[in-house]
Amino acid sequence: MGAIITLSLLGILILYLGLYKAKNALLPVSILGLLGALAYELYYWQSDAVPMYKGMVLFDHFALAFSMLCIVLTILILLLSKEYFKSISENIAEYYTLIIFSLTGALMVCAYHNFAMLFIGLEIMSVALYILVGIRRKDKASNEASLKYFLMGAFSTGFLLFGITLLYGATGTFDLAVLKEYIIANPTEVSPLFYGGILLLLVGLCFKVGVAPFHFWTPDVYDGAPILITTFMSTVVKIASFAGFLKLFSMVLIPLNEFWTPVLLTIVIITLFVGNITALMQTSFKRMMAYSSISHAGYMLFAILSIGANSASGILTYAIAYGLSSIVAFGSLMLVKRHIGSDQFESFNGLGKTNPGLAFAITVAMLSLAGIPLTAGFIGKFMMFTTVMNDYHTVLLLLAAINAAIGIYYYFRVIVHMYFMKGEGEEPVQLSINFKLVFGLAVLLTIIIGIYPDIIVSLI
Amino acid sequence: MTIFYFVAFLSIFFALMTIFTKNPVHSVLYLVITFATFTVHYILLNAQFLAAVNFIVYMGAIMVLFLFVLMLLNLNKESEPMKSNLVKIMGVIAGMCLIVTFLGAFRLLESNNAMVQGHENIGLVKNLGKVLFSDFLLPFEISSILLLTAMVGAVLLAKKETRVKQHG
């Protein structure tokens, strides 16, 4: 709870800093505040997890681990933002505030114990994003992305709310613990309202995490949004939504898994194929990353499909690997786009010769996204595949292996462009110290987790 | 009970009219009437607060906003996007599936279950306030961040960029 309060106050403080034109203080103060919030989360790690504030929030190890991941990723993203926002507009303080508020919502989604908190958390997270997506007001693509995201987001929230209402109609409560007791007390005669509620909740949550067939907004929004915001959306927001998703299903709905497993299985298979095959056909790096984020959401759903003791740590490992690599990928795209002015694969040509360090970082990120051993991505994929294997979903496993192979193809295309194609210019891309720090940290963590996965796996 | 059936018939009738009228302004006006019938439903259910909010916010504020937007956009037949028949058929099928799902969910509803009968006065403002300031205090307070976010965003999107010349 301390972290949520800290972040709320931090947002307001930054608004005031913007008012008094303290532009140089914005980034340091934001980072310090985020570190403070991180310290709060670490502090709560030892204490006993009991639902607080009349059962509204629960800070167990699951919630704390995902919250910390979100905060760390936000710090990395903000470090990349230093030059970026200035080139877009004057109102930098407001953007920092909105990102921090969005993070506050994400923490609430990680820690909710009552549907009221889930709903408000998701809304805070999304409302801030609707605006951030559209901050390039002169750019038509950015405007379109913002409007599309807003309409789709509002629509999916409607489904989610209706689902919550039906669950309330069946049980008379919003509290996860009471809902769980209800299912355990009536395992055979659960009200039909409850089943309808589960389906609608599933639709709403699938919209939020962007899996097929509810993925139509994802490519356009990710493509149209400013790169930094795309990074934030595809990492922090997606991970928090998954945490909320997993919490609901593992805590409450698991006794009814015979009902929802077939539905989710279909969604997973469609998602894997749609995400990977369309990613294969892209010529723009940014769009490729958008589609590949759909397929990664499909892999993460594996943990929800066959919920077990390892689900939470599996999804956490996958999310860390995916988040770190995405930040490197989008960060390098930001640099390359500023240098060459295009986000096609061709702009990466010859990067291996002019910027060996940057090319190495991108290579590690791509290998991690593809799931090659000795990177964190491999451990994440390995854990996901093991959870599914324990449930004997052999067909799914086979399809997933095919998709992983397709994934390797398009991730390697980036590497091929960097090392084996000749670039036009000779002068190297300029990296500021912040970028070097973030890339170095992300690559280091990716490799460390790839070699010693135990530090993360044993966490939850 | 007869009042309920009459009002329910009116709700469904005007909701269908909302969809089937060609003129967007008429459509919005039918939607206003649909909301008015909902207000009557809420009063029948003894939910005064919801009735008032529905009347003021939805019928009053939001629908007026709808009308303004329609007038600003100046929609007419020519600017209407072409919809293919395939999309229409798919929409009908999907909608029907949704209805079937809901009917399946609602099939065992009984109006006299303990949860409804036990809380006859649950919709009164007094009880709502009590719940809001005891059990749901945290979400109530935190929604202030939601409102602040929306406010900052609205100002940010609507403010004029003073980039070319700084007039203070």
Give chain A positions within 8 Å (CB) of B159: 91
For chain B, say whether A91 makes contact (Cβ under 8 Å): yes
CA distance A253 to A179: 9
For chain A, say whether B161 makes contact (Cβ under 8 Å): yes
- What ipTM, to 2 d.p.? 0.90
pLDDT confidence of residue B164: 46
H or E, element range at A294 = helix A285-305
On whether residue B24 sits in a domain, the answer given is yes
- Structure confidence by residue, pLDDT tens digits, B27-72: 888 999 999 999 999 998 888 888 999 999 988 888 888 888 888 8
- Structure confidence by residue, pLDDT tens digits, A138-179: 888 899 999 999 999 999 999 999 999 989 888 888 999 999
pLDDT confidence of residue B165: 40
The nearest CA of chain A is from the CA of B6 a distance in Å of: 24
Mean pLDDT of A367-392: 89
On whether residue B130 sits in a domain, the answer given is yes
How many CB atoms lie under 10 A from the CB of residue A355? 23
For chain A, say whether B86 makes contact (Cβ under 8 Å): no
CA distance A156 to A202: 10
Peptide bond into B24 cis (omega under 30): no
pLDDT confidence of residue A424: 74
Give the CATH number of the domain where residue B40 resides.
Answer: 1.20.120.1200
Strand partners, A175: A114
| A415, A218, A199, A59 alpha-carbon torsion, rounded to 10° | 70
On whether residue B102 sits in a domain, the answer given is no
Total beta-carbon pairs less than 8 A apart between chain A and chain B: 91
pLDDT confidence of residue A257: 85
For chain A, say whether B147 makes contact (Cβ under 8 Å): no
Give chain A positions within 8 Å (CB) of B104: 192, 195-196
CA distance A409 to A190: 46
pLDDT confidence of residue A311: 87
A-interface mutation test, from B111, B115, B152, B163, most A Cβ less than 10 A away? B152
pLDDT confidence of residue B141: 93
- B38 with B63: CB under 8 angstroms? no
For chain A, say whether B163 makes contact (Cβ under 8 Å): yes
- Structure confidence by residue, pLDDT tens digits, A38-85: 999 998 888 878 888 888 999 999 999 999 999 999 999 999 988 777
pLDDT confidence of residue B111: 58
How many CB atoms lie under 10 A from the CB of residue A89? 16
The more confidently predicted of residues A71 and A387 is: A71
- pLDDT over threshold 60, residue B163: no
For chain A, say whether B83 makes contact (Cβ under 8 Å): no
Mean pLDDT of A336-348: 86
- A307 with A245: CB under 8 angstroms? no
pLDDT confidence of residue B15: 94
Q: What proportion of chain B, given as a percentage, has pLDDT over 90?
A: 32
B117 pLDDT band (50/70/90 cuts)?
Answer: low
Query: Can you list the alpha helix ranges (DSSP code H) found in A54-191?
Result: 61-80, 84-88, 92-111, 115-133, 140-171, 176-185
CA distance B15 to B2: 20
The DSSP letter of residue A216 is T
pLDDT confidence of residue A171: 85
pLDDT confidence of residue A293: 92
CA distance A176 to A60: 14
Query: Can you list the alpha helix ranges (DSSP code H) found in A371-453?
Result: 376-390, 394-420, 433-451
B166 pLDDT band (50/70/90 cuts)?
Answer: very low
pLDDT confidence of residue B79: 60
- A223 with A141: CB under 8 angstroms? yes
Pick from A78, A62, A104: nearest CA to A232: A78
Strand partners, A111: none
Give chain A positions within 8 Å (CB) of B145: 8, 11, 101, 104-105, 124
Q: How many domains does chain B have?
A: 1
As separate numbers, helices (DSSP H) first and strands (DSSP E) second, chain B gives 8, 0
Mean pLDDT of B107-121: 66
A441 pLDDT band (50/70/90 cuts)?
Answer: very high
Q: Report the phi/psi class of residue A235: left, alpha or beta, with left for phi > 0 and alpha for psi in -120 to 50.
A: alpha
Q: SS3 for B46-111, per residue?
A: CCHHHHHHHHHHHHHHHHHHHHHHHHHHCCCCCCCCCCCHHHHHHHHHHHHHHHHHHHHHHCCCCC
Note down the domain range covering A39: 2-457
- Structure confidence by residue, pLDDT tens digits, A420-433: 888 777 778 888 88
On whether residue B100 sits in a domain, the answer given is no
Dmax over CA atoms of chain B, in Å, equals: 68
SS3 A69: helix
pLDDT confidence of residue A456: 83
Strand partners, A52: A57
Spell out the residues 6+ positions from residue A282 whose beta carbon is closer than 8 angstroms to its own. A288, A291, A410
B168 pLDDT band (50/70/90 cuts)?
Answer: very low
On whether residue B109 sits in a domain, the answer given is no
Q: How many domains does chain A have?
A: 1
Contact residues, A window 35-74, toward B, CB-based 8 Å cutoff: 53-54, 56-57
On whether residue B112 sits in a domain, the answer given is no
Pick from A45, A32, A403, A99: nearest CA to B153: A99
How many CB atoms lie under 10 A from the CB of residue A14? 27
The more confidently predicted of residues A353 and B81 is: A353
Determine whether the interchain pair A91/B156 forms a contact, defined as Cβ–Cβ distance below 8 Å: yes
Mean pLDDT of B105-129: 72
Mean pLDDT (chain A, rounded): 90
pLDDT confidence of residue B116: 62
Note down the domain range covering B35: 2-75+118-158
- Structure confidence by residue, pLDDT tens digits, B82-100: 678 888 899 899 999 988 8
B162 pLDDT band (50/70/90 cuts)?
Answer: low
